[in-house]
């Protein structure tokens, strides 16, 4: 692991190294709203899944889930939550910016509150599209630039807070089923609490490549 990855891992291990689930154990609201777009019982990859609230919830809905995070502490808590809920999911400690997600592998890919620098984000999204099966969906939510004016969570660095236009260009516009930015109440653990400025995308890969 490179030094920068080690630093990132140390930061998130420290954050997750407490008994509390700092983003809660309930799933993200936008993911819950969009989950009906995922092929029933399909394979879902949860990128930067943190302490596992989203991956475990998807496993409870009958999906075959792989949960990936750079934090070993987060992955440990994910496995603990899965045991408590009586479900199984695959877990992996890895940096998603270098993760091999394969090609046409996944019915769904989920990225909730993963804040990457623009270049790394665009490159990841290019690989997400390749990794989805035809008809597969990508569910993405993150804080928006005006979250900086709020004190309800998210990074304090404007470079990590993309606006809707900045992130929408990562995808072919014909594949965007939902693209929205605005304020919503976020009650997701002690670190995401209150009105938040978010950006949301639902991307659906064409059912026939090239169609």
- The binding site for ligand SAM (CB under 6 A) comprises 8, 12, 23, 28, 48-50, 53-54, 69-71, 74, 95-97, 112-114
Q: Taking the complex as a whole, how short is the minimal distance between the CB of residue 120 and ligand SAM, in angstroms?
A: 7
Q: Taking the complex as a whole, how short is the minimal distance between the CB of residue 157 and ligand SAM, in angstroms?
A: 13
- Measured from the CB atom, the residue of 11 and 180 that comes closer to ligand SAM is 11
Query: Closest residue to ligand SAM, Cβ-based?
Result: 50
- Measured from the CB atom, the residue of 71 and 147 that comes closer to ligand SAM is 71
- Measured from the CB atom, the residue of 76 and 95 that comes closer to ligand SAM is 95
Determine how β-strand 132-143 pairs with β-strand 193-204: antiparallel
Helix (H, G, I), strand (E, B) or coil at 131: helix
Q: Taking the complex as a whole, how short is the minimal distance between the CB of residue 173 and ligand SAM, in angstroms?
A: 26
- Measured from the CB atom, the residue of 132 and 198 that comes closer to ligand SAM is 198
Q: Taking the complex as a whole, how short is the minimal distance between the CB of residue 186 and ligand SAM, in angstroms?
A: 10
Q: How far apart are CA 183 and CA 191, in angstroms?
A: 17
* Positions of E strands within 5-119: 43-47, 64-69, 90-93, 106-112
Q: How many CB atoms lie within 10 A of CB 61?
A: 16
For the chain, the residue count is: 211
Q: How far apart are CA 185 and CA 194, in angstroms?
A: 5
Q: Is 83 exposed, middle or buried (0-12, 13-18, 19+ CB in 10 A)?
A: exposed
Q: Taking the complex as a whole, how short is the minimal distance between the CB of residue 22 and ligand SAM, in angstroms?
A: 8
- Measured from the CB atom, the residue of 42 and 74 that comes closer to ligand SAM is 74
Are 163 and 50 in contact, with CB atoms under 8 Å apart? no
């Amino acid at each position: 692991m490179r030094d920068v990855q080690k630093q990132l891992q140390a930061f998130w291990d420290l954050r997750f190294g407490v008994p509390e689930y700092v983003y809660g154990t309930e799933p993200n609201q936008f993911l819950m709203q969009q989950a009906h777009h995922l092929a029933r019982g399909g394979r879902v990859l949860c990128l930067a899944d943190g302490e596992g609230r989203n991956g475990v919830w998807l496993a409870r809905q009958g999906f075959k889930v792989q949960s990936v995070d750079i934090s070993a502490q987060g992955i440990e808590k994910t496995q603990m939550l899965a045991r408590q809920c009586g479900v199984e999911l695959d877990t992996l400690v890895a940096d998603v910016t270098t993760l091999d997600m394969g090609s046409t592998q996944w019915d769904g890919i989920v990225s909730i509150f993963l804040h990457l620098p623009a270049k790394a984000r665009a490159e990841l999204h290019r690989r997400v599209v390749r990794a989805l099966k035809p008809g597969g969906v990508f569910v993405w939510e993150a804080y928006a630039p005006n979250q900086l004016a709020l004190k309800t969570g998210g990074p304090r660095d404007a470079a990590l807070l993309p606006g809707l236009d900045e992130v929408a260009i990562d995808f072919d516009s014909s594949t965007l089923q939902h693209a929205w930015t605005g304020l919503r109440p976020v009650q997701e653990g002690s670190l995401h609490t209150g009105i938040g400025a978010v950006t949301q995308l639902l991307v659906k890969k064409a059912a026939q490549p090239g169609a």
